[in-house]
Amino acid sequence: ATMPVPVPVGVLRLPRGPDGCSRGFSPTSLRFQALLGGDTVAAQGARAALRQRYLRGLAAARGRPTRFCLRAGVQVDAVFGAADVEAVAFQVDALRTPLGVQAAALLRCADVLAYSFLL
């Protein structure tokens, strides 16, 4: 059996950057700014403000009864404990599920669609 001859694929080469040795565009160029969709400083400030609000929300939820809405329409209730730094899991206590109560558990953030608690 003979192997088919591979079709050559063109390589996209970006123009040389402003320093002469790198490829790409200067972060201060109009084209780079347009690709980002606006002012990078303002976008970074907005991300920082949203992150701070999220962390304050996590701190406010600690020790409170919380309802978690999971995939497939499952809702569970628990006492919120903590969240890890990478936002991979929530630690909860007294997790009430349709199958029973768990004293302590970890809920994967990827499975949690929403959570709510009373202030």
What's the total number of domains in the chain? 2
- Which of 103, 67, 110 is closest to 86 using CA atoms? 110
Does residue 6 belong to any structural domain of this protein? no
The range of the structural domain enclosing residue 93 comes to 62-115
pLDDT of 61-97, one tens digit each? 999 999 999 988 899 999 999 998 787 999 999 999 9
d(CA 93, CA 88): 17
Question: Encoding tokens for residue 34?
Answer: 């347009």
pLDDT at position 119: 81
Same domain, yes or no: 50 and 75: no
Q: Would 5 be classed as within a structural domain?
A: no
Query: Tell me: the pLDDT tens digits for 105-117?
Result: 999 999 999 999 9
